[in-house]
Structure 1
Amino acid sequence: MRRLLIVWHSMTGGARAMAEAAADAARGQEGVETILRRADATDAGDVLAADAYLFVTPENLAAIAGLMKDFFDRCYYPALGRIEGRAYAQMVCAGSDGTSAARQIERIAKGWRLRAVADPLILLTHAQTPEAIAAPKIIAPADLDRCRDLGAAIAGGLALGIY
């Protein structure tokens, strides 16, 4: 059985909802085990045991969230040289942009020599005030459908042996 690891972090619920939507869709794929794991609970053993990855993070101050960075910091060197060519995709929940966080994940994945199988999915919440930024995030149903589509696509590719 192939294994998809979805690693996520969220403070206000947006990235969590995105990750859960992707996982729900991926779990419908026969022959693929989907593991949804918080970044702070994921270790290098989880990374090494997976065949593909979906990284889901909010963008904070034009960067990936601190606990996602911590995940990469803890897992990068133990996995380096051992996961080349595996598939990955990413989703970013951002207030107004998201591209800096996406580029940061892309650079990390390039170092691991992972293979991007989709463009970054960046969802904008348009939160611009301190109050809106700190408030719980509700992701629109159409955007959650986009997250489901990405989760299903990665799991489908694993099941078919494409990745």
Structure 2
Amino acid sequence: MSSRQLLIVWHSRTGAAKAMAEAAFEGARGAGDVRVLRACDADSDDVLGAGGYIFACPENLATMSGEMKEFFDRCYYPVLGKVEGRAFATLIAAGSDGAGAQAQIDRIATGWRLKRVAERLIANTDAQTPDEILAPKTLDEAILKQCREMGQALVTGLEIGAF
């Protein structure tokens, strides 16, 4: 594993966060070393092997999704004190503001002493009814373009040693 590697860890229930992670991967590949893993498949060795991260997940009930929380629960202590200063960014798919999930990830990143290197990107799907919330999601191309740009920017920054 390269310290210049970008690791994208994602979880999705309805496809929106997965689409965001895949777009970030699409933007990053070809520009540098990048891996994309579903949260249930990522472990502390994956985190330790990367120089930077994009965390992508939905907000469910004003918190990050359970599978993403489980990823952080499994990895938090094994990497604590070993990833300080590494770059990170977030992609949140939400039915409203995404603030709860974002706040949880920010707290974890603060504990790991990660360095935010890109603005928070929250895709608001405006899903408010049970049927809308559970329905498969398709994101606007403008959001996916921002995700691709984020992936490319992070992997490029890692490649040139900017962070």
What's the TM-score, normalizing by structure 2?
0.97
Question: Counterpart of 1:33 in structure 2: which amino acid?
Answer: D
Runs of 4+ in 1 over 3 A off after TM superposition: none
Counterparts of 1:1-163 in structure 2, within 5 Å, are: 1=2, 2-29=4-31, 32-163=32-163
- The alignment-based identity, stated in percent, is 55
Question: Counterpart of 1:17 in structure 2: which amino acid?
Answer: A
Gaps of 5+ in 1: none
SS, match of residue 59 in structure 1: strand
Question: Counterpart of 1:77 in structure 2: which amino acid?
Answer: Y
Task: State the alpha-carbon separation in 1 of the partners of residues 126 and 111 from structure 2.
Answer: 31
Once superposed, what is the RMSD of the aligned Cα atoms? 0.7
Task: State the alpha-carbon separation in 1 of the partners of residues 53 and 92 from structure 2.
Answer: 14
Gaps of 5+ in 2: none
Deviation at 1:28, TM superposition (A): 2.2
* Number of residues of Structure 1 aligned to a counterpart in Structure 2: 161
Task: State the alpha-carbon separation in 2 of the partners of residues 120 and 60 from structure 1.
Answer: 17
Question: Counterpart of 1:72 in structure 2: which amino acid?
Answer: F
What's the TM-score, normalizing by structure 1?
0.97
Deviation at 1:36, TM superposition (A): 0.4
Task: State the alpha-carbon separation in 1 of the partners of residues 119 and 79 from structure 2.
Answer: 23
Task: State the alpha-carbon separation in 2 of the partners of residues 86 and 72 from structure 1.
Answer: 16
